[in-house]
Amino acid sequence: MQIIRDTSAINPEPSVATIGFFDGVHAGHRYLIQQVKEIAAAKGLRSALVTFPVHPRKVMNTNYRPELLTTPEEKISLLADIGVDYCLMLDFTPEVSRLTAREFMTQLLKERYQVKYLVIGYDHRFGHNRSEGFEDYVRYGKEIGIEVIRAKAYTSNIEIENVPNVPVSSSLIRKLLHQGEVDLAADCLKYEYFLDGIVVGGYQVGRKIGFPTANLSVDDPDKLIPADGVYAVWVTFDKKTYMGMLNIGVRPTIDNGPNRTIEVNILHFHSDIYDKFIRLTFVKRTRPELKFSSIDELIVQLHKDAEETEAILLASKAGSNSRETK
């Protein structure tokens, strides 16, 4: 995938394109992008995505926290794996925000990016105030020389709260993560949710009670942190992956105050990893964060948590290996 930020330096070839922020690069995004690739192959053109390095709402309001499912770098990496030809990075500026849909299509899609066919998601709108819809885009396209195609709607096989075939969206995935439903979020994303960051010093309480933890400082402050609780996670650093028992929260049993921490106990591992870059990959939430009546009661529960965590991760690994061999 070729990332184009400046069309004065690199001129993209004519393409079939779609537009979106693509936060999370989830199952619905992947279905849309696959349609773009198929149409491009049939037309003998390049496939392209027009996206934004910074969330448009954050550009307009610097106090807005988008709670990203993927950082800009993570999003680009996931998009590259899908195999499109161009990722056209458009800086969303106040000037861009004021463009009407017709002006956006003419000045940016047609003249800057050489888009010949525009594939529109079933509910996607763009342009100033997003007041126009698909029929308007079709009309503008005919006037300026872009054929506008409505994408097929994505139908999931995901059931949430007894509702089958739930439409997948970034907002749905955020809701699931806020509820700690990381396994359901993975079904929507088509990969397991993850956090990247650096291991920093902590209070070292875990070390004193037999469960030393690595404290994660997340790389991007806009990245969404799942709900407080205990999770079974994979911990990856130095090109190796380990089983981990993760706690997100304020550690009420030891009266940690309001300070929310992300601490992982790496099972069967006893070395210091301060300042290392690590990735936490979420598999399942095992319980909410609880306040225990004593440290001894907490220790008993942590032993149970560790056993449950290991069982979950071993089962997950076995299931993954089974799927890969089919």
One domain for residues 143 and 17 = yes
CA–CA dist 168, 184 (Å, integer):
11
CA–CA dist 237, 277 (Å, integer):
6
Which amino acid makes up residue 208? Answer: K
Domain presence at residue 159 = no
One domain for residues 132 and 238 = no
Distant-in-sequence, close-in-space partners of 10: CB < 8 Å, separation ≥ 6: 2, 4
One domain for residues 6 and 145 = yes
Q: Which helix (H) or strand (E) holds 295?
A: helix 295-325
Give per-residue pLDDT as tens, 108-154. Answer: 999 999 999 999 987 788 877 677 889 999 999 999 999 999 999 88
Q: Dmax of the chain from CA atoms?
A: 74
Q: What was the pLDDT predicted at 37?
A: 98
Give per-residue pLDDT as tens, 262-314. Answer: 999 999 998 889 999 999 999 999 999 998 988 999 999 999 999 999 999 99
Q: What was the pLDDT predicted at 120?
A: 94
Domain presence at residue 90 = yes
- What average pLDDT does the structure give for the chain? 91
One domain for residues 211 and 136 = no
One domain for residues 46 and 140 = yes
Question: Residue 174 above 60 pLDDT?
Answer: yes
CA–CA dist 312, 295 (Å, integer):
25
| Burial annotation 7-22 (CB, 10 A radius, 16+ → b, else e) | eeeeebebbbbbbbbb
User: Residue 286 in contact with residue 312, Cβ under 8 Å?
Assistant: yes
Q: What was the pLDDT predicted at 141?
A: 97
One domain for residues 117 and 201 = no
Closest-CA residue to 183 (of 218, 229, 222): 229
- Sorting pLDDT into bands at 50, 70 and 90, what band is 253? confident
Domain presence at residue 174 = no
Domain presence at residue 168 = no
Domain presence at residue 162 = no
One domain for residues 141 and 270 = no
Taking CA 304 as the corner, what is the angle to CA 312 and CA 262, rounded to the nearest 5 degrees? 75
User: Residue 212 in contact with residue 270, Cβ under 8 Å?
Assistant: yes
One domain for residues 201 and 62 = no
| DSSP 3-state of 182 | helix
CA–CA dist 256, 72 (Å, integer):
33
One domain for residues 134 and 197 = no
CATH number at 260 reads: 2.40.30.30
**158 or 191: which carries more pLDDT confidence?**
191
One domain for residues 144 and 204 = no
Question: Residue 203 above 70 pLDDT?
Answer: no
Please tell me the total count of domains within the chain: 2
- Per the rule left: phi > 0, alpha: psi between -120 and 50, beta: everything else, 251 is left
CA–CA dist 103, 126 (Å, integer):
11
Domain presence at residue 53 = yes
CA–CA dist 66, 23 (Å, integer):
10
Domain termination site, one of 123, 150, 177: 150
User: Residue 264 in contact with residue 254, Cβ under 8 Å?
Assistant: no
Could you tell me how far CA 51 lies from the centroid of its own chain?
Answer: 15
What average pLDDT does this structure show over 173-194?
Answer: 97
One domain for residues 133 and 68 = yes
Domain presence at residue 81 = yes
- Per the rule left: phi > 0, alpha: psi between -120 and 50, beta: everything else, 145 is left
One domain for residues 129 and 13 = yes
Domain termination site, one of 93, 116, 150: 150
Domain that holds residue 249: 192-324
